[in-house]
Structure 1
């Protein structure tokens, strides 16, 4: 089996860096979990099974792209109770939440 050169390893790490940079730090992830459970949960249900807002479960979000969910999180849905969160969350936060919702939001 051929050995990878240091340059190949460095290139692989550089290519992976943007994906890692989008992931919030562990403390921020904990804060985002709290926001989703408390703030989003007040409308979407504490277990995200729905309430005033629709369910936020993997099976109900299956046909929705993570980028679309992130856009909804940041900009809200005009004419509905879904508010924009852009004042409290940035694009990386919204993208992380969207991906986690599609996977099944952790407890």
Structure 2
């Protein structure tokens, strides 16, 4: 059932995706730097968590990345972020990571 919800969420985020407001974009970039960077490194070339550089993400689908961010990864240090990020914000962060 979780995958059905994720699929529905992905379709709605692709079709109806809203850009976060500028202030929220800055908050998300700070979160990316400070929270994600504490495990993935600065720049995010890897550390406790894997690299988040564009070349490392190239073979990973948005759906896989959204699931990892929203729900975390069992058995790893990756926590779920769904209480802090909605699907549109998660997608926005992924697109920023793909551009760097």
Pairwise CA distance, 1:22: 2.0
CA RMSD of aligned residues (A): 1.5
State the TM-score, normalized to the length of structure 2.
0.80
| 1:22–1:92 CA contact under 8 A, matched in 2 | yes
* Equivalent residue number for residue 58 of structure 1: 54
Which portions of structure 1, spanning 4 or more consecutive aligned residues, are displaced by more than 3 angstroms?
18-21
1:70 aligns with 2:73: no
Larger radius of gyration between Structure 1 and Structure 2: 1
| Range with greater deviation from structure 2 (45-54 or 19-28) | 19-28
Pick the aligned partner of 2:86 from 85, 90, 96: 90
Question: How many residues of Structure 1 are paired with residues of Structure 2 in the alignment?
Answer: 87
Pick the aligned partner of 1:30 from 26, 30, 52: 26
Paired with 1:49 and 1:21, the residues of 2 have a C-alpha distance of: 28
Q: What do residues 20-47 of structure 1 show as CA deviations (whole Å, max 9, x unaligned)?
A: 7421111111000000000000000021
Structure with bigger RCO (C-alpha 8 Å, 6+ apart): 2
* Equivalent residue number for residue 39 of structure 1: 35
| 1:76–1:83 CA contact under 8 A, matched in 2 | yes
Pairwise CA distance, 1:19: 5.7
Structure 2 unaligned spans of 5+: 1-13
State the TM-score, normalized to the length of structure 1.
0.75
